[in-house]
Amino acid sequence: MSAAGRRDGPRGEVSEDAGCGGDAEGRRTSPRRATPRREPGRPGADRRRRTSARGGTAPPRDHGASPTRHDFSRRVLRPSTATRIPGAPSKGSGRGTVVGPDLRKLLAESFLEYAVMLALLACTWVRNVWEQPTAVRYVAEGRPMSHTFDLLLETTDGRRILVEVKPSEIADREGTRELVDLIASQLAVGVADAATLVTELQVPPDVLHDADLISSSRRHPSPDNDRRFLAALPVGGATIAETCVASGLRGEGMRAAARLIGAGALERLTDGRIAPETVVAPRETRP
């Protein structure tokens, strides 16, 4: 075949009658369409749009919150101020993150530390909590030493307390209580006012349940719902379920009650964990 009957292919290779014209016997043939190449990371050209059951384009999903919920999970959280970042968890341990009242991340190195953080932040007398504060110096057997406590909390009256979190069995075996008492006796002015040991015995299941409920309710703040709950609550008190119905808040009333209990605006008149049958009353009306 002459040079006139030859042409270059799409990649520069020479092909026999690759484009159009005739075959070897002179019959007319249609041009062969090349398959489009897909670029890495891009969807193919044959991918179709999601359609509804009636064949039309499905409307976009509404991911917005309901009118009575004010989620602050989309706010920018402040980074942790810990002096030591927890490493990878070992077998049987865990890690967790708690959001403080100032929208700061609190990094927990264990399940117990996570529970203690939640329990402390749910206390009305605790203003704020910091994890892994600056190491404290002390002297033991004539030698200078340093120790990093797990938590530092600030109370509403301005006191600063260092907290060591340890399972009771390990604390007894390692003499952790004696170490904490030794450091507490040597605390310098301005470092902290006290130091204490907290074990799982101080965080029973009911306390952890209430702390978790208060923490989750705070993630959806709604001052309007809180005011509506207080306005519907009789001076002598009522159950949370009764007040939810009276206020018209229904399920959102449970969250409002938990937030108000955590803020100290409500007093519980019955024992046990926070539940619909819990009797509450405005704290300012109680003697």
Q: Which one has a higher pLDDT value, 155 or 66? A: 155
Are residues 191 and 148 in contact, defined by beta-carbon separation less than 8 angstroms? Answer: no
Mean pLDDT (the chain, rounded)? 77
Q: Global pTM?
A: 0.66
Domain 96-202 falls in which CATH fold? Trna Endonuclease; Chain: A, domain 1 (3.40.1350)
Q: Which one has a higher pLDDT value, 184 or 63? A: 184
- The single residue listed with the structure tokens 């001052």 is 223
Average pLDDT of the segment spanning 148-163: 94
- Those residues whose C-beta lies under 8 Å from the C-beta of residue 235, and which sit 6 or more positions away, are 281, 282, 285
State residue 7's pLDDT score. Answer: 45
Domain borders along the chain are 96-202, 205-285
Chain-centroid distance, C-alpha 14: 63
- The single residue listed with the structure tokens 């398959």 is 35
Tell me which DSSP letter residue 201 carries.
Answer: G
**Short-list 224, 247, 225, 239, CA closest to 269:** 239
